Structure 1
Amino acid sequence: MLNISKSEFVALDISGKTYIFWALDAKIHLNAMGLTDTIKNKNQASNQDRAKAMIFLRHHLDEGLKMEYLTIKDPLILWNNLKERYNHLKMVILSQAHYEWTYLRLQDFKNITNYNSALFRIKLQLNFCGENITDHDILEKTFSTFPTSSMLLQQQYREMEFKKYSELIAHFLVAEQYNELLMRNHENGPHSTALFPKVNVAHFHQTRRERSLDPSRGRGRDHCRGRDRYFNQGDRLAINNDPQHHQCKKNGEASEAAPRTNTENRCSRCGAKGHWSRICRTPKHLVKLYQAP
């Protein structure tokens, strides 16, 4: 039973702009249903087959066309009337296809897929209008419209001597995918932006613990630094007046990495060297003795 619940392809518009492709689709579907003979001249198709073909053709016509050919019962008559009405559009399609083929250029497309789609659409139109486009014509059109920035690449492809356009397209698509992959990798991490290696947390805490237990750290590399660091200010005053302490400094036993202190200016609060008044910690009774007239 003929299934006409939905259209198999786009219905023919009353303007007839899609007649060429509509006729091609209609022939293919009628052939699949075994009804091709119904649109041939002097056919011997049965009335039942003619009715099926007529139903199918009318189902794929615009409502306006259905009303114009309402009285026609033979699919052959309907087919010939539509052909006489719209077949002249083939010349319009041919001239448009010639124009598009002339100005078709690979460099005008962002990717190979879009170029390939436009090329085959034009090729189909030319072939349908009776003009044959060979693989040699397509290859020459593609090579001659390469971007000027890819002249060396164009010469390399020519030297490969492709015989079929499909082989060239396969190389194009592979190269395009590789280029997209390289660009994506570059965008994810541009040049000279390598990630720093992650710190092992366990190793970090272990190193910290070892440093805290190191006797040479915190107390200084010698006794002079350790005592300077941990004694209070009053003891430091005593140490500064200690001859042994001065001798320790003269012998070069003081740490080279000791923090720099104020060694030239005296504290205005207690008169001692080695610190400023704002960080002075000298006991008050010593400060009073120093500041007494």
Structure 2
Amino acid sequence: MATTNQTSSIPVPIFKGENYDFWSVKMKTFFRSQDLWDIIEEGFTIPEDTSTLTTAQKKELKENKQKDSRALFVLQQAVDDTIFPRIIGATSAKQAWNTIQEEFQGSDEVRNIKLHSLRREFELLRMKESETIKDYYSRIKEIVSQMRAYGENILDKKIVEKILISIPQKYDAIA
């Protein structure tokens, strides 16, 4: 996910099939900054008979089509060539987004299982004797970041408690 493409002058993160949750947060922010998120989240419908539309409705429809095309283009650019075939047939940005989301985010049950696994990993985490506090803190923050990406609200107080409880005895003077 380290690679980027340029859209306008803003780099777009490339999704390679890993770290979907982080990629999706970045993409949502990007789409909001470009005023495109509503078209992805809600989509839009094209009426069968456009002849009955008012001038204002026709203008709105045209704007929605343009926004959808821009958003679809960005999504196509924001996925690796190995992911692109999954959305090649998408005719709207909403359809492409939902396709990627369904495959890589997983169902609520899968997300709950992943979150449960991360909670367990956090609770069982202990600092190794040979590890620096900085490295241990980095390991904790990585797990906490993943938990937060899955919607867990973990307070900094709990992180500090975790560090103080799980560091080796040689640090007892500071704990």
Query: What is the TM-score when the length of structure 2 is the normalising length?
Result: 0.72
CA pair 41-25 structure 1, distance change in 2 beyond 3 A: same
| Distance in 2 (alpha carbons) for counterparts of 1:92 and 1:4 | 39
* Structure 1 residue 6 displacement after superposition: 9.0
CA pair 26-109 structure 1, distance change in 2 beyond 3 A: farther
* Structure 1 residue 92 displacement after superposition: 5.3
SS in structure 2 of the partner of residue 8 of structure 1: strand
* Structure 1 residue 59 displacement after superposition: 0.8
Q: Unaligned 5+ residue runs, structure 1? A: 155-293
Asked if structure 1 preserves the Cα contact closer than 8 Å seen for 2:72 and 2:92, the reply is yes
Residue equivalent to 2:39: 38
* Structure 1 residue 55 displacement after superposition: 0.9
Higher relative contact order (CA 8 A, sep 6+): 2
| Distance in 2 (alpha carbons) for counterparts of 1:109 and 1:99 | 23
Deviations 1:191-217 (A, max 9, x none): xxxxxxxxxxxxxxxxxxxxxxxxxxx
SS in structure 1 of the partner of residue 42 of structure 2: coil
Asked if structure 1 preserves the Cα contact closer than 8 Å seen for 2:41 and 2:94, the reply is yes
Residue equivalent to 2:96: 78
* Structure 1 residue 71 displacement after superposition: 2.0
| Distance in 2 (alpha carbons) for counterparts of 1:90 and 1:108 | 33
Greater alpha carbon shift after TM alignment, 137-146 vs 2-11: 2-11
SS in structure 1 of the partner of residue 136 of structure 2: helix
| Distance in 2 (alpha carbons) for counterparts of 1:47 and 1:18 | 30
| Distance in 1 (alpha carbons) for counterparts of 2:171 and 2:137 | 18
Residue equivalent to 1:110: 131
Q: Unaligned 5+ residue runs, structure 2? A: 1-5, 45-59
Query: What is the TM-score when the length of structure 1 is the normalising length?
Result: 0.45
Deviations 1:38-83 (A, max 9, x none): 2112557611111111111111112233223212120011111222
SS in structure 2 of the partner of residue 94 of structure 1: helix
Residue equivalent to 2:111: 90
Q: Does 1:139 align with 2:140?
A: no
| Distance in 1 (alpha carbons) for counterparts of 2:71 and 2:105 | 21
Q: Does 1:47 align with 2:51?
A: no
Letter in 2 for 1:142: I
* Structure 1 residue 109 displacement after superposition: 6.1
SS in structure 1 of the partner of residue 162 of structure 2: helix
Identical columns (%): 22
| Distance in 2 (alpha carbons) for counterparts of 1:109 and 1:8 | 39
Residue equivalent to 1:8: 12
| Distance in 1 (alpha carbons) for counterparts of 2:95 and 2:67 | 15
CA pair 6-135 structure 1, distance change in 2 beyond 3 A: closer
Asked if structure 2 preserves the Cα contact closer than 8 Å seen for 1:12 and 1:22, the reply is no
Letter in 1 for 2:32: N
CA pair 79-65 structure 1, distance change in 2 beyond 3 A: same
Asked if structure 1 preserves the Cα contact closer than 8 Å seen for 2:42 and 2:94, the reply is yes
CA pair 109-30 structure 1, distance change in 2 beyond 3 A: farther
Letter in 2 for 1:18: N
SS in structure 2 of the partner of residue 63 of structure 1: coil
RMSD: 2.6
* Structure 1 residue 134 displacement after superposition: 0.8
Q: Does 1:121 align with 2:125?
A: no
SS in structure 1 of the partner of residue 24 of structure 2: helix
